[in-house]
Amino acid sequence: MGNDTVCYYKSRPFDFGPITYEGPKKVNNAPDTSSAHRKLRPRRSMPSGLDTGKPATTIHYDALDREIRKGSQRFDGQWQFVDRVYDQRGRLEKVSLPFRGETASHWNTYSYDAYNRPVGLTEASGKTSAWHYGRLWTMETKDGITTTRTFDQLGAVVKAEDPGGIITYEIRPDGQPSRIVAPGNAVTSFSYDNFGRRLIIDDPSVGKQYFSESYASDGSRTFLTREPNGHMITSKYDKYGRLLESKRDELNTEYRYNADGDLSTVKSNNGTAVNYTYDAYGRIATARTDVPDGVFLSKSYKYADGNLASIQYTSQKGGICTENYVYANGYNTEVKLNNTTSIWKLTEENGLGQPTKAVTGVLARTYSYDAFGQPTGRTAGNIQNFSYQFNANIGSPSSRKDNRRNLEETFVYDNLNRLQVMTGKGIDFDEKGNLTVMPNAGTLGYGNSSRPYQVTAFTPSSPTVTPREQHLHYNSFQRPDSIVENGITATLVYNTDGNRVKMKVVQGNQELLTRYYIDDEYELDGPKGVERLYLYGDAYDAPAVYIKEGGAWKLYYICRDYQGSITHIANADGTLKQELSYDAWGRLRNPQSQTIYEQGKEPELFLGRGYTGHEHLRWFGLINMNARLYDPMLGRFLSPDPYVQMPDFTQSFNRYSYCLNNPLKYVDKNGEFFIFTIINAVKDFVVNSFIKVWDQGFNAWSNSSNWHSTRMAFKIDMGLVKGNIGQILSRLTWELPQTALGHLAGSVQNTLYGVKGVSYYGGATAIEYYSEGWGAFTLGSFVNGQRGLQADPNNSLFQHEYGHCLQSQWAGLFYLQRYAIPSAIDAASKSNHSYHATEQDANIRAFKYFSKHVPNFEKNNEYNNIFSPRWDFKNNLIIGYNRTKSIDSPENQVVLRNGIMSLGWADIAFGHTSISIILNVLELKQ
């Protein structure tokens, strides 16, 4: 063999380099001295791979070339595997939980109906999910909640019903919603222009929002938004879709890019800025963040063997420290401070890959889990000892206990998984999800019919609870920029991303506190000049914090509960500095007795942070969750979530509620709550709630492989809410069957460590697998594809698959029977699949879309123009298209028009039946 191939991209080598063959081995040598080794295999044998700085991996296949086992070598040298079993029809029947040794003990099992639709999922933990299908309805039971969705004759969802009530939808002919009515007659309406572009959203929680957009001759676009409070937001993008400038009432921001198209500078006129430099391989070399008054944090990155080796921190006061990263078999196992003191060191993990023992300085920590990955306990030296019991069917704790003091709490949930009883004390909700009775606080009333989710009355349950009068003002980010209560005023400043960078609290002329914030990692308190740098993570997951007070830097260790709340802070010698405790909703209480502190008598927090790592504003009894202020006494936010997370779930429309009224299951890190992967069969051990379980401080820069699945799981779930509101609603209603299958396929593959990356474009989610040479398949907005797939109009594979996304949007519930199944059957045959009607239709839809939405796309189809967006006619053939003529030519317009499929007569005559599928396959057979 012995041939060499060298690839270059944008005059920068990135991760490409010479490819050589050494006998049965394929070696890719990257310019940064790292390399990737692949042992080529005969069929049914076991391939193996070893990339520099990454874990060794292995994959087993059966006689049909299906993956049946995948393994990776862990940090301690042992191998961890995930097995797959298929039924007689080739469907995935079982997926094991990760295990060590030879044989899997715990399995997640799937069942299907005669049409290969999923009807059941039984997890290893005993948790079950079920799906039922009718002609014009589907019923799903998941996490103990049954949801029924009803469709009209065209397949659009017109009603969704769960135990919380009924949601009704009015859908326009183009598939976008015109009106949604949630329980309690809460109406959200939408208005559009003649081209289907959104003009107005009238929401009962937020008010009216107005939208407009304009285009310039140079290809740039400008978007204008007017918020209900009158704020105007203007955003301008260049012809490549890059943000150039944004204008708000509070600040104007400019964005600059280097010659390679990488973001180099973000600068606003309020004293905030971010500057990046990159190394020869496109990796960030330095990053500096500036906030008002000359305060900044600079980070310098060093790499080795393809992994992050160190980060050096510098502030306006000089050098702070360096974090050094240590790896074993490709896993980040230790982080050191200035290459000496161990901040965090992994010493043991379980079969699922969850850390069970770690050391932070002199503080030994243990983490325990049941066989299915649910947390059961954690300890830290002799200062922390917690235990938990979880209800596997709903993924929420039924009890938690402080073993040092023998204090136990119990919890009960209703049929919507809302917290209903905490240690014998009941919590009540109305039909709209409003909390009406809060133990140890009082009763809440809602008397504003035009704002049905806003609290208008509060009756305290005891004399120790006194009503508070607060005045708040919000900026264009819908963030509070001033809070006033009892003569105390807090003013806040934000950067262009809406992150707070400064807070000043005064009482009259007396300055109580001025605090600066940078990237949730660094804080500076004035006038005392106290500096805080969170190590190996941020304020929400770091295991340690470095504090400069009185001219000297000191190291402290942070212990958290399974949600990331700070419960103990230890000195460098392991002795206790401060202990904190919270009730289920985040109210501070005495850890000795778990008695709620009287209002105004709460202790001052050593780090200023506590519940889920968020900052407590003790002057106002509030918790600042970044985007919104949370009142733990009322268990509600003071302002609505800017997003309706799940438009077919009744509880999502109450955008003031905290974490769907289940504060023990979910964590709201930034005040903009998203439904992450709930603890389920596909990803029991990598759901984001477990990020808060582990307080070792893994962060995005660690590049540790055992966090990769977690990041990818979050990205896959985020794909459910990518795109405009019409696309989001469509994929959860009109496209629901294929959306569920596409999401499930990507999630299962990710659980098996098979997902390399996730990217987005135009509402589509591209899930790139590690495996090569098989192509891709699209279900709904989820494109699952081979190594190299990217959500980019320049990516040949994505070009074609995006056409299938457009088919799904157009055909909805008819997509599987009209497009997906006939296409899959044809692909399995020996015919030229690219000539099949479904594939030609996909190519045409995508080509027309990109030509319309990507500047200069259709004008740059020459093969020698490798840096411009272009259609790959070689691999994505459009039969009859004349490339010598423009897309607007009559000849090409006929080709593009004639190649588009419509619904078949069988779809109309027989609806969603097996007869339609069979007739479609026969009609479209080549």
Q: What is the pLDDT of residue 37?
A: 53
Residue 473 pairs in a beta bridge with 482
Residue 400 pairs in a beta bridge with 388, 409
Residue 235 pairs in a beta bridge with 223, 246
Q: Specify the higher pLDDT residue, 492 or 763.
A: 492
DSSP codes, 759-772? EEETTEEEEEES--
Q: Judge whether 126 and 392 are in contact, CB under 8 Å.
A: yes
- pLDDT single digits (tens) 510-568: 999 999 999 999 999 987 889 999 999 999 999 999 999 888 999 999 999 999 999 99
In this prediction, residues 377-395 reach a mean pLDDT of 93
Confidence of residue 9 (pLDDT cuts 50, 70, 90): very low
In this prediction, residues 762-767 reach a mean pLDDT of 91
Q: What is the pLDDT of residue 925?
A: 65
Q: Is the pLDDT of residue 103 over 90?
A: yes
The percentage of residues in the chain with a pLDDT greater than 70, rounded to a whole number, is: 84
- pLDDT single digits (tens) 77-88: 999 999 999 999
Q: What does the angle CA 450 – CA 630 – CA 476 come to, to the nearest 5 degrees?
A: 65
* Cα–Cα nearest to 660, from 631, 686, 637: 637
Mean pLDDT, the chain, rounded, equals: 83
Task: Read off the tokens for 875.
Answer: 């691999």
Q: Specify the higher pLDDT residue, 241 or 839.
A: 839
* Distance of alpha carbon 592 from the chain centroid: 37
Q: What is the pLDDT of residue 22?
A: 52
The percentage of residues in the chain with a pLDDT greater than 90, rounded to a whole number, is: 43
754: helix, coil or strand? Answer: coil
DSSP code at position 702 = G
Q: Judge whether 159 and 738 are in contact, CB under 8 Å.
A: no
Cα distances from 372 to residues 113, 368, 369, in angstroms, run 27, 11, 8
224: helix, coil or strand? Answer: strand
* Cα–Cα nearest to 480, from 622, 621, 608, 627: 627
Q: What is the pLDDT of residue 811?
A: 83
Q: Specify the higher pLDDT residue, 864 or 739.
A: 739
* Cα–Cα nearest to 655, from 192, 188, 39, 217: 188
Q: What is the pLDDT of residue 655?
A: 83
Q: What is the pLDDT of residue 762?
A: 86
Q: What share of the chain is helix, strand, coil (3-state, %, to 5)?
A: 15, 40, 45
DSSP H/E element including 897: helix 890-898
Q: For the ranges 60-74, 731-745, 858-872, which has the lowest average pLDDT? A: 858-872
119: helix, coil or strand? Answer: strand
Burial (CB count within 10 angstroms: exposed 0-12, middle 13-18, buried 19+), residue 550: exposed
Q: Judge whether 468 and 620 are in contact, CB under 8 Å.
A: yes
* Distance of alpha carbon 581 from the chain centroid: 28
Q: For the ranges 67-76, 98-107, 146-155, 779-788, which has the lowest average pLDDT? A: 146-155
Burial (CB count within 10 angstroms: exposed 0-12, middle 13-18, buried 19+), residue 406: exposed
Q: What is the pLDDT of residue 618?
A: 95
**Interior/surface letters 209-218, b for 16+ CB within 10 angstroms, e for the rest:** bbbeeeeeee
912: helix, coil or strand? Answer: coil
* Cα–Cα nearest to 586, from 606, 560, 616: 616
* Cα–Cα nearest to 798, from 827, 832, 775: 775
Q: What is the pLDDT of residue 855?
A: 67
Confidence of residue 793 (pLDDT cuts 50, 70, 90): confident
Q: Judge whether 354 and 99 are in contact, CB under 8 Å.
A: no
Task: Read off the tokens for 699.
Answer: 């962060």
Q: What is the pLDDT of residue 268?
A: 96
* Distance of alpha carbon 456 from the chain centroid: 34
Q: What is the pLDDT of residue 196?
A: 80
- pLDDT single digits (tens) 230-267: 899 999 988 877 889 999 999 999 999 988 888 899 99
- pLDDT single digits (tens) 332-372: 999 999 999 999 999 999 988 889 999 999 999 999 999 88
Q: What pTM was computed for the model?
A: 0.72
- pLDDT single digits (tens) 38-68: 555 544 444 455 677 888 889 898 888 888 9
Q: What is the pLDDT of residue 608?
A: 97
In this prediction, residues 838-860 reach a mean pLDDT of 80
Q: What is the pLDDT of residue 733?
A: 65
